[in-house]
Amino acid sequence: MYEKFDPQARLFVPVSCNQSDQLGNVLNYVAGSDLIRSELGAHGEKILGSGSEYIQSNISRYISNPRYYFQVNDDYVKNKLKVVLFPFLHKGHWMRTVEPAGGKFSFKPPIHDINAPDLYIPMMAFGTYVLLAGFFLGINGKFSPESLGVQFSTGLLCWLLQVLLLEATLHSLGGGEVPLLDMVAYAGYTFVGAALIVAVRLIFVDYLFCVATLWESFCMGVLLVKTMKRILISEVQSFEKSSTKRNYVLLFMAAAQIPLLFWLGSVGVETH
């Protein structure tokens, strides 16, 4: 009555022409997607590679190598402090010394060039300034962790303002690209004078405060004017044609040292 079912029998499913065309389209789409992905990957690697090279070149251009600024010795520190405190007594030129390196020319490190900027003296001077200010507050019964923190923050703010002042001076005179750490180093020399001013207040109370501040402002102004002229002439090879504008800008930069050093010498310290 019932037909026997043969499990060995094969089942054939007819495939139409439309289904075979769809299968071919799918295979072509997959192959095309792989090709697109490979092309996009190659272009992405190229873009990322060029982007990383651009970032590295700009970082090296503006920041330079931090280890360069700490290549100092005792002789350099002693002679550099003389230049910072008495720049008008500096004998010889203000140009930095270059040396061949890898087919190019680079500036010699501070240990071999008295005119090279360094970060050792600015950082030591900044620390000395904060410690002397804290000691002054202590002997006057006004020391507290908060007051020392305010002194530290004020010093950093003045350092930043000095960097911005130097950058604005260079750009207003047509200056080019100068490593950022160079500007930080030049601005940090201000704390050599600031530490000396606080030391004068410790020894002579406030009798010589104004004299010491004006003297250090004059010395710092001379140092920065000489430095900015050297950078504009020899390092970026760009100089403002109008001598009147150049003189006014440099004079303003030098005069700005007076309120800056008065602020560093008197902030957090009350006069009697």
User: What percentage of the chain carries pLDDT values higher than 90?
Assistant: 46
pLDDT in tens, 82-103: 999 999 888 888 888 888 776 6
Select, from the ranges 91-105, 196-210, 226-240, the one with the highest average predicted confidence (pLDDT).
Answer: 196-210
| Mean pLDDT lowest among 105-109, 171-175, 184-188, 258-262 | 171-175
Other CB atoms within 10 A of residue 197 CB:
26
Full-model pTM: 0.75
| Mean pLDDT lowest among 117-126, 198-207, 218-227 | 198-207
SS3 18: helix
Half-sphere exposure of 8 (CA within 13 A, CB side): 0
Tokens of 5: 């079912």
Other CB atoms within 10 A of residue 54 CB:
10
pLDDT at residue 1 tops 80: no
pLDDT at 41: 56
How many residues are recorded in the chain? 272
State the Cα angle at 111 between 110 and 113, rounded to 5°.
55
Average pLDDT over the chain reads 79
pLDDT in tens, 167-196: 999 888 876 678 899 999 999 999 999 999
Q: Give the DSSP per-residue string, 182-205.
A: HHHHHHHTHHHHHHHHHHHHHHHT
Half-sphere exposure of 160 (CA within 13 A, CB side): 6
pLDDT at 2: 43
Q: Indicate left, alpha or beta for 40 from its phi (over 0: left) and psi (-120 to 50: alpha).
A: alpha
Compute the radius of gyration of the chain from its Cα atoms: 33
**What is the residue extent of each domain of the chain?**
16-62, 66-266
Rounded to the nearest 5°, which phi and psi values hold at 268?
Answer: 75, 5
pLDDT at residue 19 tops 90: no
Other CB atoms within 10 A of residue 187 CB:
23
| Mean pLDDT lowest among 16-30, 55-69, 219-233 | 16-30
